[in-house]
Amino acid sequence: MKTDFTLMNFILDVGEKLFTLLLLDYRFLEIIRSRRAEGIARARARERNAYKGRRATIDRAEINKLYAELKSVSKVSKAMNICRNSVYRNLEKVA
């Protein structure tokens, strides 16, 4: 019995397996998304303001106060031990 091993058969076989893997991955992602949506819905049912994101850890008022005193984003970032981008971001939100 001679095995008919051609490049075309190999490509079709690999393509079929790849398609199956991609389909399984897509279904897995759908399951994750649906479970996440269910969890969010349950959290919102428990509490009206639930799932609004993470609470701010940087005090914007303190950033503005230090910026008014020091007049330098770099000095404010060093004083508060945060990065300069965070200082810029929080200054823009208040301005």
Domain count, the chain: 2
89 and 68 share one domain: yes
- What pLDDT, on the 0 to 100 scale, is given for residue 35? 93
- Report helix angle 84-94 to 73-80, nearest 10: 110
Query: Are 19 and 47 contained in the same domain?
Result: yes
pLDDT at residue number 53: 73
Indicate the average pLDDT of the chain.
Answer: 83
Q: List own/partner pairs for 49-55 with CB under 8 A and 24 or more apart.
A: none
Domain span holding position 87: 60-94
The pLDDT tens digits for 12-51 are 788 888 888 888 888 888 888 899 999 888 888 888 777 7
In a domain, 86, yes or no: yes
For 94: left if phi > 0, alpha if psi spans -120 to 50, otherwise beta; the answer is alpha
- Asked if the structure places residue 2 within a domain, the reply is no
Residue 1 lies in a domain: no
Which residue did the predictor score with more confidence, 67 or 54?
67
